[in-house]
DNA sequence: CCTTAAACCGACCCTGGAGTTTGTTGGTTT
DNA sequence: AAACCAACAAACTCCAGGGTCGGTTTAAGG
């Protein structure tokens, strides 16, 4: 195989497997050998491509995680319909178990944020950027929804977005150690309920 | 000082300081010397009273954390008034910065849950028990609220409780690495809004 | 006092895991 | 085909941090 191609293949294998295992076991609870053993690679290979474990993870964030967030949570927001069903649907999809990985309920962003917030400021910043990207897009969709009459005019779009994000992060925490699909179901029901309350109220006098 | 008393004093100092530092820096990111140095105690003292770091933490959970959760989130629920303002108020108080520790926004349960969920099943169980204690009490208060006509009859109390807990956990995550008091404010506004939507609707026909 | 044991000290041990180094192989270039 | 270098192997270094252990201090009882 061509050198350059082989290199990219190895880097890709490392990143995918890394994200997979980091998601399941957490960053600090995973050692490099856990990843390398499964790929039948050596320390030498790893440190040939990345200068540290931290560097490796940042690479994962900026390629795979950003891409996932974009595909699952941001791209779907690009619409002119009623925002609420769209948001609800994207969140529901983001909470679905990864295909092939039963029990790993989608979306690791929240878990990583918590893991790094007290331990590694640099990585935290990268993760926060991703969240903010989501937040900005949510807010802008909500504002558009207001203009289009889907959302009550008096609502604070930043507040709604923050609330959506907070509840999403939190349900991930709960799903990690309870009956996940049940928790998810209850959560989505109430989120829908909350969304309903954001509609413009018909005026009864 | 009497031996038995001195022993209890030392154990108490260890636990309080331990919870303090664990809360700020996280369990795995704190080493025993961090705690012992501040108290001017030695490894010997520590291992005289606790058989391991893990044992130490479990002790903290079962004494201090349970007590805090109870005082902040459960005891206030013991009321016959409208549940929603009560719950809102208890959550608001639980999110207040700790006195003396600027920037440590109350309530560490959520952070610890995430930290341990992938690393230590035993400690996770102890923490989950605490959350469940909260959940059970929330549900029972909500059900009472239904009977008393404060909450719409068609609502799923378990769902509402799960949703409250999830959003609470999540906002803690967000507060850890954004403008905390602003995030808190936005969150509480929306929580209030959600609570309003749970009231029985007057019947317009 | 004098003994005993609880409370505590602090040097040491030991393991896990990140990162380094030295060596090997096989593709690429001239 | 000879030289060269990217891609990898694997043994090694190094150190943070949990846990141990023999020794020392202190308070309680005879």
Q: For residue range B99-121, what is the model confidence (pLDDT) as tens digits? A: 766 556 668 898 899 899 999 99
Of the pLDDT bands very low, low, confident and very high (cuts 50, 70, 90), residue B177 is: confident
pLDDT of residue B204: 54
Dihedral through CA A188, CA A193, CA A196, CA A202, nearest 10? 170
The C-alpha atoms of residue B102 and residue B95 are separated, in whole angstroms, by 12
Contact between residue A55 and residue A68 where contact means Cβ atoms under 8 Å apart: no
pTM of the prediction? 0.92
CA angle, corner B174, sides to A186 and B63, nearest 5?
Answer: 80
Token pair of A87, please?
Answer: 């948001």
CB atoms within 10 A of CB B121: 10
pLDDT of residue B1: 67
Contact between residue A187 and residue B166 where contact means Cβ atoms under 8 Å apart: yes
Whether nucleic acid strand D comes within 7 Å of the CB of A44, the answer is: yes
pLDDT of residue B201: 79
Residue B200 has pLDDT above 70, yes or no: yes
Among A114, A118, A167, the residue with its CB nearest the CB of B167 is: A167
Helix B157-176 to helix B83-94 angle (10° resolution) is 20
State mean pLDDT over B78-84: 93
Whether nucleic acid strand D comes within 7 Å of the CB of A45, the answer is: yes
Q: Å from A65 (CA) to D19 (C1')?
A: 39
Nucleotide nearest B8, CA–C1', reads C7
Q: Å from A52 (CA) to C15 (C1')?
A: 22
CB atoms within 10 A of CB A126: 18
Residue B199 has pLDDT above 80, yes or no: yes
Contact between residue A166 and residue B188 where contact means Cβ atoms under 8 Å apart: no
Of the pLDDT bands very low, low, confident and very high (cuts 50, 70, 90), residue B20 is: very high
The C-alpha atoms of residue B199 and residue B194 are separated, in whole angstroms, by 9
Whether nucleic acid strand D comes within 7 Å of the CB of B59, the answer is: no
Least confident stretch, A92-101, A107-116, B18-27, B155-164: A92-101
Residue B135 has pLDDT above 70, yes or no: yes
pLDDT > 70 in chain B, percent:
94
Task: Find where tokens 């400021």 sit.
Answer: A121
Nearest to A135 by CA among B179, B108, B97: B179
Nearest to B104 by CA among B7, B176, B195: B176
Q: Å from A117 (CA) to C20 (C1')?
A: 29
Residue A80 has pLDDT above 80, yes or no: yes
């Amino acid at each position: 195989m061509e050198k350059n191609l082989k290199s990219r293949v190895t880097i890709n294998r490392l990143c995918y497997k890394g994200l997979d295992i980091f998601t399941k076991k957490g960053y600090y609870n995973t050692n490099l050998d856990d990843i390398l053993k499964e790929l039948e690679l050596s320390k030498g290979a790893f440190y040939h491509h990345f200068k540290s474990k931290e560097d490796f993870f940042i690479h994962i964030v900026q390629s795979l995680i950003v891409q996932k967030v974009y595909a699952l949570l941001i791209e779907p927001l690009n619409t002119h319909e009623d925002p609420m069903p769209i948001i609800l649907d994207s969140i529901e999809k983001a909470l679905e178990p990864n295909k092939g990985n039963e029990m790993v309920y989608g979306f690791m962003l929240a878990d990583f944020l918590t893991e790094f917030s007290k331990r590694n400021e640099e990585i935290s910043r990268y993760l926060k950027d991703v969240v903010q990207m989501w937040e900005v897009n949510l807010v802008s969709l909500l504002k558009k929804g207001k203009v289009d009459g889907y959302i009550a005019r008096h609502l604070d779009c930043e507040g709604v977005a923050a609330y959506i994000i907070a509840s999403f992060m939190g349900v991930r925490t709960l799903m990690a150690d309870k009956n996940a699909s049940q928790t998810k179901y209850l959560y989505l029901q109430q989120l829908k309920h909350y969304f309903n309350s954001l509609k413009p109220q018909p005026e009864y006098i």
